[in-house]
Amino acid sequence: MPVARKACPVGNSTVMRLAIVLLVGACQGGERSKRETGADESVALLPTSAVGQQGGGQIPSTAATERRRSWSIALALPGPRASFEEVLVRMRAVATQENRKAQPLHVTVKSFSPDGTVDLTRDGEVSATFVYRYADPTGRPGEDLIAGAFQVGVTTRRCDGNARFCLHVSTFNHDFPHERTLGTPTCTLAKAWEAAIRSGIPANAVASAVYAVPRKMPLIRIAVEGHAELTRWVDAASCRAEESLVGFE
């Protein structure tokens, strides 16, 4: 004979306590997400596509990046060519909206014209790595580090809607505790190329450029594939060109 089970009564006070616990947990979760991203919620950035969790334009902390790995955002440039500086400005805008303390670690330009413009139709023509690393003042020592990195690159293959050119953003779990960030280079790519030509690079050479901080100051490495002797290092502030890093020590 089946045994009847007596249901446990749940009073109104029990239900109210449970609702309060759930509400407090949700609020704490929202505050934690805002604290970890460091993003400015007053600025909205709508991605044109996302792989993983769809949502607003804020990179989560390193602990949350498994839910959202990559997405694309309209570049908002007519193309097909644009100055490198215009592209970098838009990359910075995306980066600081993803995390307000993000700074460029290095930027790569695969090829460029003498006037400093790049071809937006070539996938990955310009790419940059941005990093953020800071202590959360509300966290306990040993649990207060907020760090992460993401790459931003020009693409034409991952755009949705009417966007012709996009910036593809990819997050990855990595920390760069000892690397120096670029800041804002004041030497334009066109001026850097002029300095490289004056130092001996043929004016008709096809070159690439990398912005990084291999020494104490941000430098632009201009290289010609297959010709190591034509590599030049240009001060990203003064546009002074040298044939080796020794000139900046």
Shared domain check, 152 and 208: no
Rg, the chain, Cα only: 24
Strand partners, 222: 209, 232
Is the residue at 95 inside a domain? yes
* Pair 115, 214 in one domain: no
| Residue 74 included in any domain | yes
Residue 117 lies in a domain: yes
User: Does 160 reside within a domain?
Assistant: yes
Considering 143, 172, 201, which residue would you say is the last residue of a domain? Answer: 172
Spans of the chain, pLDDT less than 70: 1-68
C-beta of residue 38 within 8 angstroms of C-beta of residue 99? yes
Based on the fold, state whether residues 61 and 155 are members of the same structural domain: yes
- Residue 119 in domain: yes
Do residues 156 and 166 make contact, with C-beta atoms less than 8 angstroms apart?
yes
Boundaries of domain holding 216: 189-248
At position 241, the amino acid (one-letter code) is A
Name residue 134's beta-bridge partners: 146
- Predicted TM-score (pTM) of this structure: 0.71
Task: Write down the pLDDT at residue 27.
Answer: 41
Nearest to 91 by CA among 120, 129, 60: 129
Burial class (CB in 10 A: 0-12, 13-18, 19+), 163: middle
Alpha-carbon gap, residue 175 to 157, rounded angstroms: 29
Confidence (pLDDT) at 33: 41
Within this chain, do residues 132 and 238 fall inside the same structural domain, yes or no? no
User: Percent of the chain having pLDDT more than 90?
Assistant: 51
Q: Supply the pLDDT for residue 68.
A: 54
How many folded domains does the chain comprise?
Answer: 2
Please tell me whether residues 73 and 144 are part of one structural domain: yes
Instruction: Tell whether 184 is covered by a domain.
Output: no
| Final residue belonging to a domain, choices 121, 147, 172 | 172
Output the pLDDT for position 18: 34
